[in-house]
């Protein structure tokens, strides 16, 4: 390049960063040489976050005390301000903007803060021991702050915790289990690798005949990995520890005499759509759909479901798909289908507990229902909830060669445009979803699908509550968001039944019964026991292009935003839920 | 001719024998049996005094279903035999032990050619731990050489380095073995392959791709390494199974596994952790449970059925190819085991080479633990405060010969986040080799991160490596003095199992442009990988940089060239890593400016693919701590974004 020559001849430097840098030297602050308060202009809350980011623990107690005096609860301080800082540390660490030595300083600051706050936390009298927990961070993992938080929260609530420490091999866990005979084993792990170690540990526990319930927590885990992969691996019950309170929640339920199965029911189902956090590790854990693979081809024995006559096949309301936007959906109409039990007891944790019926009714009337009304009102005024639906119908027929396979046809019924293959039970009634489409004289049948979401805004809104630290509100709205998604699915399904002419069969008087399937036909989501293969979502996405309503499919076939759900709609009158997995 | 043991093990699971030691006890041997009062308790001497008894034991294990028996040579090294005054018989006793076993094996093979029988030359750990300084590397290596040579000359099919309690001891046996292989090559250098094979049927001829500078170049013999994990979950000196695997993965061995100390149950966790990432075939020879003391006798609680049940499960689950028993396992254990394994072999579970190699191949290790070099959170921090060039404090301590304080300095760095420890004692007027030896013999066991030996002197490097128990990194090699030096350093890496930092310097000096840096890197890669047999994963390129502080026109683009070189090396040379001593970029500048410039430069380098940085964390800052204006100026300086205005000609 002649550039340099040109410079020499025609150009002269007008800006040289080196010159400017040298000129700047005198202005550069070297940290320790000022005794000015670096957090002068920040509120105490901001100061605390910033201190975590800076790894500055000098005199942090003063700021913590100030926050306490200002009316913040110790746990709120941790969960809001300190965790906020830690989150940023994690992001910067991941992006290479912050190196390990500084992260270490942040971690030390966090620990200092937590240990100062510990003395101010609500404690139960020391004499009670409501149950015992063995707690450890798994082998190869040094992260102990989250685990120690679990310890503190449980200990303060009257449980005895044996905190084994970090990098704990499974043998040591087993020894502790044998010695302390806990009610629950709690494991923490923040590295992706730790998730695999956890799974291996479960295998070893199986082999040693240990089947105590286990809770797995830490940022690298996902609910799906725990509730599917780990739960399928382990002989006992496995719960997903979303945060450091989940274990308390579970221990309280154990303490109140609930069976593990009951807890699982409440826990898996009611919280099934809880945010998985902003964890970038959604890809963790291979799925084990493969175990159904043989059942896809299992056709030795078919079920004896009723074959539909042509008069029993409704007419196609329209072919293909339709989109319904938020403006067409009346929130109150949708909320008719709200499952109040799931929300109040499951999400809001406001079950009857040990209260008398009278006391509980009073609570419902004076607190819970008014709260619900308030949330609804606020939502109507400030619609963070934006329900959207794509749904539609296709002609279909069972594949002549493969009774588990349902072919979908083009509008003129000439061409097969797609097909779904469902697993068949290899015991019991030998059911397979395709059986519900069998027709006399090989007539065409119809199948419906729906994809619904309450929008990305919902997650953002709920997250903003979390971030603002208003945990009670967070919990309420989170519950409402989750149950509204279900309600929207119900609403959409009701609309489909209406279009197919089955509305009369809806059990209108008893909404609880309706919600339990008190209507004609049935709705199945991919991932349910009868159609467990999540990859089928991909076909739905090809057919319905729900990207139009803001939905995306992750590599693991999970729908985003999280408050979304999809289903195949079957109009066969005998359609029911069943489990295809044979033990 | 029977198939080679290694090849056969890929097709079917092979069965080792049970315990030699505890079986001998059942014979109620007297001092006479051993060859006199002075030799009482020396099992190796029984090869001489009671050969028929040893052969009977071998026979009975073969009858019980073993494919392989171990020679009675666990303690036939010079050092161990020396405790009975038999040190000079090490070769003869080892060879005799091999001959006895081979005779029996051949008899069985002749009888049942469809089930060929093999002999493994057992080499035990001896009584001294080199990591603790009980014995020097060289003394240990010399002690093992006659043992290895005797076993090979006696016709064993595999060298079994077993019951290992210290990774450094394994390294010493391997070094001895490689020298023995070289001796055999030397002896046969004018002879044909056929002649060599006739003398050594177990010899394996090396493919070109298997040749490693510094090791034998024509043949090798199968090598199997087995560590012993104590009940506390580590080897006696504290290494966990995975770090031992990392250390051994730098060597050309054929099988890796565990034996002794505990029963199968306690081994499971460790088997699991190595089975997933081992580049080698896996072996497992547990005790019949953990011995209990019953009336003053060791009693092994695990019954043959239970033993076989565990092993059946492990073979299926962890893809184990070589199984057998250690202390407390007798003929019955082996016969039950054989029954289970035969069933498995009918199912034809073929060896499935392991999938998850990345983790072990991309790791280095200390005696205690391993460090993955391809972590998501880059860069990996190499602490430079124990470097005579980088730290005044270190130089002072060195001058005062305060090695304790130096060890403390090393520990401090770990606490501050260092993940690898750079050690450099090159300081004018001092004996570098001696200083390094003093420092490493302490740091090796008191600091739990891997060591980077920072020296350009081959003898210093070699003496250092003889003291390091883990898989170390050598810093560094370059082409300044031509290609021979590269071969010399590569040989050391191969012989002692180390990774290597290679600098982009050639005969013309330090490369300035990205183009030249990349060209040198490629030349070094070709030499190290293709010619000298190192694996690309173990090569770490340092693209070096010049200071931007001088304002010298010649070096204005130094930052750009270095960063660009990193980007191209990462893109064009698969699996290699990159490293940089970042603070050179700000050399000569005011101390107040340096941390900002270092950090900005490092951040840009990481974006381009930098894997490791040699830094003093006191001389860097997290990005958010740097004032925006300062950050911009630093970036502009790194990328030489000067601005110009046109001026009219005069
Ligand atoms: C602090 C920190 C460290 C500290 C840990 C100090 C300590 N004593 O704990 C140090 C510096 C030592 C460290 C080291 C490393 N770290 Co780090 N570290 C972090 C960081 C920034 C914060 C973790 C933390 O303490 N959070 C605060 C606590 C309170 O939150 P928590 O642990 O998530 O716990 C909450 C929940 O998860 C839950 N929970 C946790 N456990 C349990 C258990 C149960 C039973 C239940 C119910 C709930 C529960 O409850 C808690 C409260 O709600 C995270 C990033 C992040 N934001 O998560 C990275 C991070 C976890 N580290 C990471 C990495 C890579 C490492 C290193 C490998 C870095 C390296 N290059 O060497 C090493 C790991 C060494 C090892 N073998 O483990 C990665 C992991 C990525 C991955 N793919 O695996 C992360 C995500 C950073 C990143 N963005 O890349 N780290």
CB distance A192 to ligand 1 below 6 Å: yes
CA of A191 to the centre of ligand 1 (A): 7
The crossing angle, in degrees rounded to 10, of helices B483-496 and B167-187 is: 120
- pLDDT at position A283 is 31
Indicate the residue of A13, A15, A101 with minimum beta-carbon distance to B617: A101
Q: With 0-12 CB in 10 A as exposed, 13-18 as middle and 19+ as buried, what is B528? A: buried
Q: Inspect the interface and report whether the beta carbons of B645 and A12 lie closer than 8 Å.
A: yes
Query: What percentage of chain B's residues is helix, strand, coil (to nearest 5)?
Result: 50, 15, 35
B284 φ/ψ sector (left φ>0, alpha ψ -120 to 50, else beta)? beta
A574 touches chain B (CB under 8 A): no
Per-residue pLDDT of B515-541, as tens digits, reads 999 999 999 999 999 999 999 999 999
Per-residue pLDDT of B265-310, as tens digits, reads 999 989 988 988 888 999 999 999 988 876 667 788 999 999 999 9
| Average pLDDT across chain B, whole number | 93
Give the Cα separation of A515 and A506 in Å (integer). 10
CA A375 to centroid of chain Cα atoms: 22
- pLDDT at position A465 is 80
What pairs with residue A475 in β-bridges?
Answer: none
Question: What is B401-461 written as a DSSP string?
Answer: T-HHHHHHHHHHHHHTT-SEEEEB---TTS-HHHHHHHHHHHHHHH--S-EEEE-S-HHHH
Taking only the tens of pLDDT, chain A with its 583 residues reads 455 555 556 678 889 999 999 888 877 766 554 556 778 788 999 999 999 999 898 889 999 999 999 989 888 898 889 988 888 888 888 777 888 888 888 888 998 998 899 888 877 655 667 899 999 999 988 888 889 888 888 887 788 999 999 999 999 999 999 999 999 999 999 988 888 899 989 999 998 899 999 999 998 888 888 888 888 889 999 999 888 888 888 888 888 888 888 888 777 644 444 443 333 222 333 334 455 677 777 888 888 888 888 888 999 999 999 999 888 999 999 999 998 888 887 677 777 766 778 888 888 898 889 989 999 999 988 888 999 999 999 999 999 989 999 999 999 999 999 999 998 888 778 889 999 999 988 889 999 999 999 988 888 888 888 777 676 787 788 889 989 999 999 999 999 999 999 988 888 788 888 888 889 999 998 877 778 777 888 889 989 999 888 888 877 677 888 889 999 999 999 888 777 764 3
Indicate the residue of A16, A94, A171 with minimum beta-carbon distance to B269: A171
Under DSSP, the state recorded for A132 is: E
Q: Do residues B616 and B390 lie in contact, with contact meaning Cβ atoms separated by under 8 Å?
A: yes
Both ends of chain A: CA-CA distance in Å? 74
| Residues near A32 by beta carbon (within 8 Å), at least 6 away in sequence | none
The C-alpha of A204 sits at a distance from chain B's nearest C-alpha, in angstroms, of 8
User: Beta B219-220 vs B204-205: how paired, if at all?
Assistant: antiparallel
CA of B599 to the centre of ligand 1 (A): 23
Report whether pLDDT(B187) > 60: yes
Give the Cα separation of B235 and B228 in Å (integer). 6
Residue to probe by mutation, ligand 1, list A90, A148, A154, most atoms within 8 Å of CB: A90
- pLDDT at position B184 is 97
* Nearest by Cα to B281 from B251, B253, B261, B260: B253
Residue owning tokens 């040893």: B54
A12 touches chain B (CB under 8 A): yes
Give the Cα separation of B308 and B316 in Å (integer). 12
CA of A144 to the centre of ligand 1 (A): 8
Stretch B55-59: mean pLDDT: 96
For an interface test with B, which of A15, A21, A31, A193 has the most B Cβ atoms less than 10 Å from its Cβ?
Answer: A21
Residue owning tokens 């079920």: A303
CA of A108 to the centre of ligand 1 (A): 13
* % of chain B at pLDDT higher than 70: 98
CB distance A396 to ligand 1 below 6 Å: no
Give the Cα separation of B105 and B158 in Å (integer). 13
Q: Inspect the interface and report whether the beta carbons of B381 and A24 lie closer than 8 Å.
A: no
* Nearest by Cα to A225 from A244, A249, A263, A198: A198
* Nearest by Cα to A578 from A402, A420, A432: A432
Report whether pLDDT(B196) > 90: yes
Report whether pLDDT(B224) > 90: yes
Give the Cα separation of B424 and B401 in Å (integer). 14
Q: Give yes or no for a cis peptide into B48 (omega within 30° of 0).
A: no
Q: Which two tokens stand for residue B430?
A: 């001092």
Considering only CA atoms, which residue is closest to atom 80 of ligand 1? Answer: A191
Tell me the longest C-alpha to C-alpha distance in chain B. 110
The C-alpha of B622 sits at a distance from chain A's nearest C-alpha, in angstroms, of 5
What pairs with residue B643 in β-bridges?
Answer: A15
- Report the range of poorest mean pLDDT among A190-204, B94-108, B222-236: A190-204
- pLDDT at position B351 is 62
Give the Cα separation of B384 and B373 in Å (integer). 17
More confident residue, A27 or B427: B427
* Nearest by Cα to A326 from A449, A448, A481, A452: A452
CB distance B415 to ligand 1 below 6 Å: no
Indicate the residue of B622, B633, B634 with minimum beta-carbon distance to A97: B622
Kindly list the residues from chain B whose CB atom is less than 8 angstroms away from the CB atom of residue A17. 633-634, 636-637, 641-642
* Nearest by Cα to A447 from A405, A476, A402: A405
| Residues near A379 by beta carbon (within 8 Å), at least 6 away in sequence | A331, A385, A480
Indicate the residue of B272, B376, B642 with minimum beta-carbon distance to A15: B642
Q: What is the pTM of this model?
A: 0.73
The atom number, within ligand 1, closest to the CA of B380 reads 71
Give the Cα separation of B559 and B633 in Å (integer). 14
Per-residue pLDDT of B68-78, as tens digits, reads 999 999 999 99
Confidence of residue B562 (pLDDT cuts 50, 70, 90): very high
* Nearest by Cα to B75 from B184, B154, B150, B181: B150
Under DSSP, the state recorded for A364 is: I
Stretch B216-243: mean pLDDT: 94
A23 touches chain B (CB under 8 A): no
- pLDDT at position A410 is 92
Q: Do residues B168 and B481 lie in contact, with contact meaning Cβ atoms separated by under 8 Å?
A: no
Considering only CA atoms, which residue is closest to atom 42 of ligand 1? Answer: A217
Q: Inspect the interface and report whether the beta carbons of B643 and A101 lie closer than 8 Å.
A: no
* C-alpha dist (Å) from residue B412 to A32, A494, B119, B282, B613: 21, 67, 49, 38, 18
Considering only CA atoms, which residue is closest to atom 20 of ligand 1? Answer: A90
CA of A143 to the centre of ligand 1 (A): 5
Q: Do residues A346 and A269 lie in contact, with contact meaning Cβ atoms separated by under 8 Å?
A: yes
Per-residue pLDDT of B445-481, as tens digits, reads 999 999 999 998 999 999 999 999 999 999 999 999 9
- pLDDT at position A462 is 83
A73 φ/ψ sector (left φ>0, alpha ψ -120 to 50, else beta)? beta
How would you list the strands of the sheet with B223-227, edge to edge?
B14-15, B320-323, B281-285, B255-259, B223-227, B158-164, B118-123, B68-70
Number of helices (H) and strands (E) in chain A: give both, helices first: 24, 15
Kindly list the residues from chain B whose CB atom is less than 8 angstroms away from the CB atom of residue A28. 592-593, 596, 627, 630
The C-alpha of B575 sits at a distance from chain A's nearest C-alpha, in angstroms, of 20
């Amino acid at each position: 390049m002649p550039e340099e020559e040109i410079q020499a001849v025609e150009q002269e430097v007008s800006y040289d960063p080196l010159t400017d840098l040298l000129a700047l030297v005198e202005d550069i602050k070297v940290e320790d040489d000022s005794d000015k308060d670096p957090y002068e202009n920040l509120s105490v809350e901001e100061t605390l976050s910033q201190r975590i980011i800076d790894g500055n623990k000098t005199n942090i107690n003063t700021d913590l005390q100030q926050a306490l005096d200002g009316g913040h609860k110790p746990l709120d301080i941790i969960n809001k301000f300190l965790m906020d800082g830690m989150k940023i540390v994690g992001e910067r660490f991941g992006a290479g903007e912050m190196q390990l030595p500084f992260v270490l300083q942040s971690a030390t600051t966090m620990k200092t803060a937590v240990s100062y706050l510990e003395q101010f936390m609500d404690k139960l009298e020391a004499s009670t021991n409501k149950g015992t927990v063995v707690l450890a961070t798994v082998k190869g993992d040094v992260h102990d702050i989250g685990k120690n938080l679990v310890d503190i929260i449980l200990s303060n609530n009257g449980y005895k915790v044996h905190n084994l420490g970090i990098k704990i091999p499974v043998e040591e866990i087993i020894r502790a289990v044998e010695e302390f005979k806990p009610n629950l084993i709690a494991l923490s792990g923040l590295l992706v690798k730790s998730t695999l170690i956890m799974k291996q540990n479960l295998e070893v526990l199986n082999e040693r005949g240990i089947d105590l319930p286990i809770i797995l927590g830490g940022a690298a885990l996902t609910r799906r990995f725990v509730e599917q992969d780990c739960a399928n691996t382990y002989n006992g019950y496995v719960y997903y520890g979303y945060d450091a309170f989940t274990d308390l929640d579970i221990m309280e339920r154990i303490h109140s005499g609930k069976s593990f199965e009951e807890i699982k029911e409440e826990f898996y189902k009611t919280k099934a759509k809880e945010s998985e956090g902003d964890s970038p590790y959604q890809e963790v854990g291979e799925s084990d759909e493969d175990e159904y693979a043989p059942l896809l081809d299992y056709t030795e024995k078919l079920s004896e479901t009723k074959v539909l006559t042509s008069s029993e096949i409704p007419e196609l309301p329209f072919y293909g798909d339709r989109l319904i936007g938020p403006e067409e959906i009346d929130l109150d109409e949708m909320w008719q289908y709200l499952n109040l039990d799931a929300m109040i007891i499951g999400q809001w944790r406001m079950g009857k507990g040990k209260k008398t019926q009278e006391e509980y009714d009073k609570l419902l009337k004076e607190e819970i229902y008014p709260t619900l009304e308030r949330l609804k009102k606020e939502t109507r005024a400030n619609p963070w909830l934006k329900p959207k639906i794509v749904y539609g119908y296709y002609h279909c027929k069972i594949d002549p060669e493969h009774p588990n396979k349902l072919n979908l046809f083009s509008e003129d019924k000439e061409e097969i445009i797609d097909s779904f293959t469902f697993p068949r039970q290899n015991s019991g009634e030998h059911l397979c979803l395709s059986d519900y489409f069998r027709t006399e004289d090989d007539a065409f049948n119809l199948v419906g699908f729906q994809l619904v979401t309450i929008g990305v805004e919902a997650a953002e809104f709920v997250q903003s509550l979390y971030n603002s630290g208003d945990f009670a509100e967070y919990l309420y709205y989170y519950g409402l968001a989750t149950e509204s998604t279900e309600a929207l699915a119900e609403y959409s399904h009701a609309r489909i039944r209406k279009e197919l002419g089955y509305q009369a069969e809806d059990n209108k008087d008893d909404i609880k019964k309706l919600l339990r399937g008190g209507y004609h036909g049935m709705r199945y989501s991919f991932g349910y026991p009868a159609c467990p293969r999540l990859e089928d979502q991909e076909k739905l996405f090809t057919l319905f292009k729900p990207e139009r309503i803001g939905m995306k499919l992750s590599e693991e076939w999970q729908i985003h935003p999280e408050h979304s759900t999809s289903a195949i709609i079957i109009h066969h009158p005998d359609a029911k839920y069943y489990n295809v997995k044979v033990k | 001719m029977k198939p080679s043991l290694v090849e056969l093990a890929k097709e079917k699971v092979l069965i080792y024998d049970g315990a030699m030691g505890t079986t001998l006890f059942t014979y109620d041997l007297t001092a006479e049996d051993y060859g006199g009062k002075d030799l009482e308790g020396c099992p190796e001497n029984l090869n001489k005094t009671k050969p028929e008894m040893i052969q009977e034991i071998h026979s009975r294990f073969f009858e019980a279903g073993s494919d392989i028996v171990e020679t009675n040579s666990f303690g036939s090294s010079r050092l161990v035999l020396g405790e009975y005054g038999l040190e000079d018989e090490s070769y003869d006793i080892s060879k005799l032990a091999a001959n006895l076993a081979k005779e029996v094996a051949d008899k069985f093979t002749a009888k049942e050619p469809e089930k060929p029988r093999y002999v493994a030359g057992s080499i035990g750990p001896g009584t001294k731990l080199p990591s603790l300084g009980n014995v020097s590397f060289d003394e240990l290596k010399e002690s093992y050489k006659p043992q290895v040579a005797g076993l090979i000359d006696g016709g064993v099919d595999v060298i079994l380095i077993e019951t290992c309690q210290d990774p450094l001891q394994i390294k010493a046996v391997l070094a001895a073995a490689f020298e023995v292989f070289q001796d055999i090559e030397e002896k046969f250098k004018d002879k044909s392959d056929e002649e060599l094979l006739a003398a050594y049927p177990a010899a394996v001829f090396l493919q070109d791709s298997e040749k490693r500078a510094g090791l034998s170049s024509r043949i090798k013999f199968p090598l199997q390494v087995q560590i012993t994990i104590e009940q506390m979950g580590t080897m006696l000196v504290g290494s966990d199974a995975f770090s031992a695997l990392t250390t051994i993965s730098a060597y050309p061995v054929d099988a890796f596994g565990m034996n002794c100390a505990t029963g199968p149950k306690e081994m499971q966790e460790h088997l699991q952790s190595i089975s997933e990432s081992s580049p080698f075939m896996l072996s497992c020879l547990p005790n019949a449970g953990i011995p209990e003391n019953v009336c003053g006798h060791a009693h092994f609680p695990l019954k043959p059925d239970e033993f076989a049940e565990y092993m059946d499960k492990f073979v299926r689950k962890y893809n184990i190819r070589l199984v057998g028993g250690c202390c407390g396992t007798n003929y019955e254990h082996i016969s039950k085991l054989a029954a289970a394994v035969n069933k498995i072999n009918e199912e034809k579970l073929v060896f499935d080479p392991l999938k998850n190699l990345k983790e072990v191949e991309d790791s280095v290790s200390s005696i205690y633990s391993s460090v993955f070099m391809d972590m998501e959170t880059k860069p990996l921090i190499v602490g430079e405060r124990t470097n005579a060039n980088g730290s005044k404090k270190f130089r002072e301590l060195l001058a005062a010969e305060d090695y304790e304080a130096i060890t403390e300095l090393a520990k401090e760095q770990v606490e501050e986040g260092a993940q690898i420890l750079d050690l450099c004692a090159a300081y004018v007027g001092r004996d570098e080799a001696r200083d390094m030896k003093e420092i490493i013999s302490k740091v090796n066991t008191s600091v739990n991160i891997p060591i980077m030996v920072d020296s350009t002197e081959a003898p210093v490097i070699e003496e250092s490596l003889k003291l390091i128990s883990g898989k170390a990194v050598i810093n560094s090699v370059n082409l300044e003095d031509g290609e021979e030096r590269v071969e010399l350093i590569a040989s050391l890496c191969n012989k002692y199992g180390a990774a290597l930092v290679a600098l982009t310097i050639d005969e013309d000096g330090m490369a300035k442009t990205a183009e030249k840096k990349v060209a040198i890197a490629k030349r070094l890669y070709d030499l190290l990988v293709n010619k000298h047999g190192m694996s690309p994963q173990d090569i770490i390129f340092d693209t070096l940089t010049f200071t931007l502080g001088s304002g010298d026109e010649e070096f204005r683009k130094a930052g750009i060239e270095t960063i660009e070189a990193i980007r191209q090396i990462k893109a064009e040379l698969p699996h290699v890593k990159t490293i940089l001593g970042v603070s050179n970029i700000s050399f000569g500048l005011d101390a107040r400016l340096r941390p900002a410039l270092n950090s900005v430069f490092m951040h840009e380098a990481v974006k381009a693919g930098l894997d490791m940085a040699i830094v003093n964390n006191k001389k860097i800052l997290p990005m958010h701590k740097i004032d925006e204006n300062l950050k911009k100026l630093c970036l502009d300086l790194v990328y030489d974004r000067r601005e110009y205005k046109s001026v009219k000609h005069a």
